[in-house]
């Protein structure tokens, strides 16, 4: 499934489940609110019935107009109270209709009783009212009042139970929605973590490998999602870069190798001309012959350097455990004359054993030490070599007290045939650091420099972390 489809489906599921949960919660909240209103009104009905009974008793004892008016007012408010019940309760439950009928019957009975006593408030002698009829009316009012109280109390209790039940449903629904949302979120996160983030890490690893010069690295992700398509495109790009790189390296090797012979002939004959006819021609001819000899010699040096640069990736040895201390010692022996003549002092700390091409590591240290000696100040060169471990990588540093490098040139110095100083000030063709960079990248590492003009430079490079595996794969 494509990542976009997965996210769309997950979003739809989350929205639908969330909408359903919100509708359920809204229904539950509405039911709880109605039940609470009904329960409150049921309690008020019971209170109102007790008040009616009290007013009726007072009226029968005193036969006064005031309690009779209060009774009628309270009776009307009781009917209004019944009308204020939520419509759903009045429509779905039988109690409201039964209570209303009983309340209306109580009102009718009380009206008959009050009419017999005296509707206009005048007192009628007790002897004129049939005692048994009066008792029956009073008993009927009390019976209806008791029925109203019992029915209202039953409705109150039932609504309270319903409220508690709905509140439980509300809590269960809320908990279920939260739990479902968390489970869905975790499922999506795990799926993305395993599928998307895992593939992204693989893709990132491939990008870093390509950046480090490992053109033979392939991701090879199988799938139909977007990241797999990017990985396939990446593998195609890496294969094209590897092919172009091999063709360029082969071209550089062939060009430098095949040009050696005709250039050697040119150099030999120009040297022969200089030897045989030097001083026999005029000064201008001697000057031109000198230019030809120097140019041929410089061209030979450039071709030799180009040949050495192209051989870094094609003539390298298999990686094996290499003692960096022994490597530095060999590099210093190769530079013994330059070290002695300049008075350079080279110090080093403990150096590790790494999986590498020992011969190429000698080139690295020899070039860095030679540059520190070549680009020195008036003081004797001081060179310090150290190494620190960071996880599975060793970071080496070569620090000097030389002339330093201007900030705008710190990237340029690693390019092939790039010189920062004229030939009159220093020899070389600007190939040394380019070879160093290519060797380090072949070993899966990286190189950089930190420098301040007049205060020296420190070259850093990393080794380790799967260099041996990479060489075996290539």
Q: Is residue 223 part of a domain?
A: no
Model pTM above 0.85: no
How far does Cα 266 stand from its chain's mean position? Answer: 63
168 shares its domain with 19: yes
- Tell me the CATH number at 110: 1.20.120.1730
pLDDT, tens digit (0-9, with 9 covering 90-100), for 354-401: 999 888 899 899 989 998 998 888 888 999 999 999 888 899 999 999
247 shares its domain with 340: no
294 shares its domain with 352: no
Q: Is residue 406 part of a domain?
A: yes
331 shares its domain with 391: yes
50 shares its domain with 164: yes
Domain count, the chain: 3
pLDDT, tens digit (0-9, with 9 covering 90-100), for 60-69: 777 788 888 8
Choosing from 154, 170, 190, the residue where a domain stops is 190
Q: Is residue 113 part of a domain?
A: yes
Residue 199: both structure tokens together: 């593939």
pLDDT, tens digit (0-9, with 9 covering 90-100), for 226-275: 777 777 887 888 788 777 767 666 766 666 666 666 767 777 777 777 77
Q: Is residue 429 part of a domain?
A: yes
User: Residue 356, exposed/middle/buried by CB under 10 A (0-12, 13-18, 19+)?
Assistant: buried
320 shares its domain with 298: no
322 shares its domain with 282: no
- Tell me the CATH number at 448: 3.30.565.10
Please report where in the chains the tokens 């509707």 appear, as a residue.
119
What residue numbers bound the domain in which 260 lies? 241-313
Average pLDDT of the residues in 411-424: 61
75 shares its domain with 175: yes
Confidence band, pLDDT 50/70/90 cuts, at residue 304 = low
291 shares its domain with 322: no
146 shares its domain with 8: yes
171 shares its domain with 299: no
Q: Phi and psi for 82 in degrees, rounded to 5? A: -65, -35
Q: Phi and psi for 80 in degrees, rounded to 5? A: -65, -35
29 shares its domain with 135: yes
């Amino acid at each position: 499934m494509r990542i976009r489809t997965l996210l769309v489906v997950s979003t739809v599921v989350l929205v639908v489940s969330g909408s359903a949960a919100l509708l359920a919660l809204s229904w539950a909240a509405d039911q709880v609110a109605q039940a609470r209103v009904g329960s409150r009104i049921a309690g008020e009905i019971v209170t109102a019935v007790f008040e009616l009974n009290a007013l009726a008793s007072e009226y029968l004892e005193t036969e006064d107009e005031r309690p009779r008016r209060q009774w009628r007012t309270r009776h009307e408010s009781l009917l209004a109270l019944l009308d204020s019940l939520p419509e759903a309760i009045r429509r779905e439950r039988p109690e409201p209709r039964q209570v209303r009928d009983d309340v209306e019957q109580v009102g009718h009975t009380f009206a008959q009783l009050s009419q017999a006593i005296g509707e206009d408030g005048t007192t009628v002698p007790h002897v004129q009212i049939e005692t048994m009829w009066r008792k029956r009316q009073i008993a009927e009012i009390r019976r209806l009042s008791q029925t109203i109280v019992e029915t209202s109390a039953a409705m109150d209790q039932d609504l309270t139970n319903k409220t508690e039940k709905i509140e439980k449903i509300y809590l269960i629904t809320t908990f279920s929605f939260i739990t479902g949302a968390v489970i869905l979120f975790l499922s999506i996160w795990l799926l993305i973590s395993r599928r998307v983030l895992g593939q992204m890490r693989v893709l990132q690893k491939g990008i870093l490998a390509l950046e480090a010069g490992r053109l033979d690295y392939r991701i090879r992700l199988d799938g139909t999602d977007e990241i797999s398509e990017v990985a396939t495109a990446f593998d195609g790009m890496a294969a094209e870069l590897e092919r172009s790189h091999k063709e360029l390296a082969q071209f550089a090797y062939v060009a430098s190798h095949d040009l050696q012979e005709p250039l050697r002939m040119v150099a030999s004959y120009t040297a022969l001309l200089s030897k045989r006819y030097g001083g026999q021609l005029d000064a201008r001819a001697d000057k031109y012959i000198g230019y030809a000899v120097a140019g041929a010699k410089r061209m030979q040096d450039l071709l030799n350097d180009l040949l050495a640069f192209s051989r870094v990736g094609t003539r390298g040895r298999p990686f094996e455990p290499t003692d960096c201390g022994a490597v530095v010692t060999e590099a210093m022996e190769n530079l013994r004359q330059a070290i002695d003549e300049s008075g350079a002092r080279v110090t080093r700390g403990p150096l590790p054993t790494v999986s590498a091409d020992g011969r190429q590591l000698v080139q690295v240290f020899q070039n860095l030490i030679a540059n520190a000696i070549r680009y020195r100040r008036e003081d004797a060169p001081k060179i310090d070599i150290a190494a620190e471990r960071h996880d599975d990588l060793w970071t080496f540093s070569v620090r000097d007290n030389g002339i330093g490098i201007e900030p705008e040139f710190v990237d340029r110095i690693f390019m092939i045939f790039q010189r920062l100083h004229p030939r009159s000030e220093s020899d070389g063709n600007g190939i040394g650091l380019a070879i160093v960079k290519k060797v380090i990248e072949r070993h899966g590492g990286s190189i950089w420099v930190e420098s301040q003009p007049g205060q020296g430079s420190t070259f850093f490079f990393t080794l380790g972390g799967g260099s041996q595996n990479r060489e075996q794969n290539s």
